Amino acid sequence: MKTIIAAYSGVLRGTGSNILSALQDLFWLSKSKVEKQLQIISVLQWVLTFLIMGIACTLILMYILCTDCWAIAVLYLAWLVFDWNTPKKGGRRSQWVRSWAIWRYFRDYFPIRLVKTHNLLTTRNYIFGYHPHGIMGLGAFCNFSTEATGVSQKFPGIRPYLATLAGNFRMPILRDYLMSGGICPVNRDSIDYILSKNGSGNAIIIVVGGAAESLNCTPGKNSVTLRHRKGFVRLALRHGADLVPVYSFGENEVYQQVIFEEGSWGRWVQKKFQKHIGFAPCIFHGRGLFSSNSWGLLPYSKPITTVVGEPITIPKIDNPSQKEVDFYHSIYVDSLIKLFDKYKSKFGLPETEVLEVN
């Protein structure tokens, strides 16, 4: 009984060493096996959050409305109405949530690593262009929405905001969970607020390729959807926010995906979803929960290394012309290619590998 109490108190305290030692005492497992199981659990909870938490919480709230506990649901809905615009105003981040021990196990499952190449001035604001999207943007989440890889230590005084689909912030409970990690909607209102009314030292991470890029991600392929994506450059010019290219080596390696050819019925359905809902349904698989040799929703344990490149100084132009947008967009594309070429051989790619820019 004392062992169970010790295990429970260790989990509540939330430190990695306490959880690990408590579970070892409880189940008499080796340290490596306990660590591996905790890594799997940490990744599984995020995958389920990504895939079903929003819908599940909505259905649960609707169910509670039909029970004797309806008052709880009504109170939350009242709070939701009152708090509706908070995601558009920088959100409500929690350093405590960002520092949870579970994120360190999440990091070690792959493992995920953040590489700094240049200092960032706290007197400037930044837009990070994150590439590639992958299936779930696991590197983007771990590096910029948690403290698992030490983003605050590597870039002191910089507040990262990972931008994602605005629809996620209409889902009860999920919206609060995302905001606690510093995640914000990828829309103009939210980005304008952070870059103009939130002081300096802000860094918005935009996964530039979005849903379109996720449709083509597959192991062994390094391609980005960027050639005609210029909205983030226009935003940077309007606010005088420096652009920072970011490439995540290994992001495409953690899931296998069925790629539908252009013109096929499968690609037609994906593009319709992308156009009307904002995301594209992908048919993908990783490894199973109990065996790496079976299929499942867990990503494969492949290293993800995210390299943050050199910032590109951007002037503030209230109404940038298309020529000005094109000029700085071309500089950004060149910087991303140079970043890829400089680090590709260090992270397992041959010197002959070429970044495909679509």
- pTM equals 0.88
Residue pair 205/161 in contact (Cβ under 8 Å)? The answer is yes
In this model, does residue 4 exceed pLDDT 80?
no
What is residue 10's predicted lDDT score, i.e. its pLDDT?
45
Residue pair 119/244 in contact (Cβ under 8 Å)? The answer is no
**What angle do the packed helices 16-27 and 31-48 form, to 10 degrees?**
120
Gap between the Cα atoms of 130 and 241, Å rounded: 15
Gap between the Cα atoms of 25 and 28, Å rounded: 5
In this model, does residue 20 exceed pLDDT 90?
no
What is residue 22's predicted lDDT score, i.e. its pLDDT?
57
What is residue 18's predicted lDDT score, i.e. its pLDDT?
61
Helices (H), 53-137: 54-65, 70-82, 95-98, 101-109
In this model, does residue 332 exceed pLDDT 90?
yes
Closest residue by Cα to residue 209 from 133, 306, 304: 133
What is residue 340's predicted lDDT score, i.e. its pLDDT?
97
Range list of β-strands (E), 132-276: 159-164, 183-185, 202-207, 223-224, 242-249, 256-257
The gap between the terminal CA atoms of the chain, to the nearest Å, is: 60
Span 259-315, pLDDT tens digits: 888 878 888 888 888 777 777 778 888 999 888 888 999 999 999 999 999 999 999
Q: Where residue 1 falls among pLDDT bands split at 50, 70, 90?
A: very low
What is residue 29's predicted lDDT score, i.e. its pLDDT?
64
Gap between the Cα atoms of 266 and 187, Å rounded: 28
In this model, does residue 176 exceed pLDDT 90?
yes
What is residue 3's predicted lDDT score, i.e. its pLDDT?
44
Which residues in 127-149 are b (16+ Cβ under 10 Å) and which e? bbbbbbbbbbbbbbbbbbbbbbb
What is residue 30's predicted lDDT score, i.e. its pLDDT?
74
- The better pLDDT of the pair 274, 87 is held by 87
DSSP secondary structure letter of residue 43: H
What is residue 230's predicted lDDT score, i.e. its pLDDT?
96
Two tokens, residue 341 = 């070429």
Percent of all residues in the chain with a pLDDT value above 70, rounded to a whole number = 92
242-249 and 256-257 strand pairing: unpaired
Span 104-158, pLDDT tens digits: 999 999 999 999 999 999 999 999 999 999 999 999 999 999 999 999 999 999 9
Span 211-242, pLDDT tens digits: 889 888 989 999 999 999 999 999 999 999 99
Residue pair 249/289 in contact (Cβ under 8 Å)? The answer is no
